[in-house]
Amino acid sequence: MQRCVIIGGADINNYDFIREKLSPDDYIIFCDSGLKHLKNLQVKPSLIVGDFDSHVIPRLDVDMIILPCEKDDTDTMFAVKEAVKRGFEDFLLIGVIGARLDHTLGNVSILLYLDSLGKKGYIIDDYSEMEIVTDKPIAIDDSYPFFSLLNVSGCAKGITITGAKYPLADAEITSEYQYGISNEVLPNETARVSVQLGKLLLIKILKSN
């Protein structure tokens, strides 16, 4: 099924790298100030949403949803919900990790929201790739110099890590003690991570790009 790519307004420094992650058949939603990336990403919007408090309303022949400034959902969250309504199962979010920590944490929580619906979500920025790990094992190859696992759901037990410098077996990571930072895939191996109870945020650190 076609993937939905949602573009927010956080800074992107390496457009070449981000463009490599896009496919010609992606359904692309620009959120408000995410439109500042339109020219450099060299893609055509499928949909534009926003309250346009941080970007002028564009004059483009594109489907557009104009939102009120006072609302519960951020423009990005609204875009995700709209895409879910339209039947998308696979999501990539870019331009959503940046200087505003409140927006960054809110956007990371979107991965939990998508996982709760049984949908797959990824976030990519200039430095990392992020996704949620549950009971389905996720593989990490040794092209990533580091990876970290963070408890973002309040409960994460039965954690297993194999093929890594710091393996775990039936372990627990609490919100108060995040010791799953900066693990390393063993050379020429593939690390595998799973969680029996709860959810972890997997952050795969990219090589310098």
Residue (of 147, 136, 123) closest to 207 by Cα position: 147
Domain shared by 70 and 144, yes or no? no
Own/partner pairs for 33-36, CB < 8 Å, 24+ apart? 33/8, 33/9, 34/7, 34/8, 34/9, 34/95, 36/9
Token look-up 């010609």 returns: 24
Structure tokens at 36: 């500042």
> Which pLDDT score is estimated for 208?
59
Domain shared by 137 and 176, yes or no? yes
The whole model's pTM is what? 0.92
What backbone phi and psi angles, to 5 degrees, belong to 87?
A: 95, 10
Domain shared by 161 and 90, yes or no? no
Picking from 103, 126, 149, the residue at the C-terminal end of a domain is 126
> Which pLDDT score is estimated for 1?
80
Domain shared by 122 and 136, yes or no? no
* Containing structural domain, residue 169: 131-205
CATH code (residue 163): 2.60.120.320
User: Sign of the CA dihedral 22, 25, 27, 28?
Assistant: positive
> Which pLDDT score is estimated for 109?
96
Structure tokens at 38: 């339109």
Residue (of 132, 121, 107) closest to 195 by Cα position: 132
pLDDT by residue, tens only, the chain of 209 residues: 899 999 999 999 999 999 999 999 999 999 988 999 999 999 999 999 998 887 888 888 899 999 888 888 899 999 999 999 999 999 999 999 988 899 899 999 999 999 999 999 999 999 999 999 998 899 999 999 999 999 998 889 999 999 999 999 999 999 999 999 999 999 999 999 999 999 999 999 997 55
**DSSP string for residues in 34-78:** GGGGHHHHT---SEEEE--SSSPPP--SSEEEEPPSS-SS-HHHH
